[in-house]
Amino acid sequence: MRLTEIWKCFLSGSLVLLLAAPAFAQYGGGTTGSGASNGTYTAPKGGYGSGAGIAVGAAAAAGVGVAYLALRHRGTIVGCVQASSEGIKLMNEKDKDTYALLAANVSLAPGERVALGGKKSKDDTGKPTFQVTKLVKDYGACK
């Protein structure tokens, strides 16, 4: 596991715990009619509203949503497939790096603009490579 993946998992977990912290808050104790605390709990006459529970649930759902959006596009590159002397390559539109594509189970044709899922690495000579695991989206012909 790479350091960036560990860091993202740590931040996502921290966010979820931070948003769920109000659910663990406890009432410190009730009071008797004279106002002195005797250590027992007395519920209020009208009861509790459901607003606090709804807020905690919504915060937890938001935390999960943020974590999902942050992690769903990792390992994805978008660009135009090009032919080269070594096979096929793709220049990532985001970081402008050119990757040699290792696509054993995905058929790619030069001239297509695609989003690919997989893993970035380097070959023995230090050139960037991309092990394609799936075709995320085919945008059609390159412009």
pLDDT along the chain (143 residues), means of 10: 73 76 58 59 70 77 76 78 90 90 86 91 90 91 87
Nearest Cα residue to 139 out of 65, 77, 73? 77
pLDDT at 67: 74
* Residue found by looking up tokens 């905690």 in the block: 56
pLDDT at 28: 52
pLDDT at 35: 54
Alpha-carbon radius of gyration of the chain: 26
Q: State whether CATH 1.20.1270 applies to domain 76-141.
A: no
pLDDT at 57: 80
**Residues of the chain by 3-state class (helix, strand, coil), percent to 5:** 30, 30, 40
pLDDT at 11: 78
Evaluate whether 138 touches 118 at the Cβ level (below 8 Å): no
Can you give the pTM of this predicted structure? Answer: 0.50
Where are the chain's structural domains? 3-71, 76-141
pLDDT at 141: 92
pLDDT at 138: 92
Nearest Cα residue to 111 out of 140, 133, 137? 140
pLDDT at 72: 62
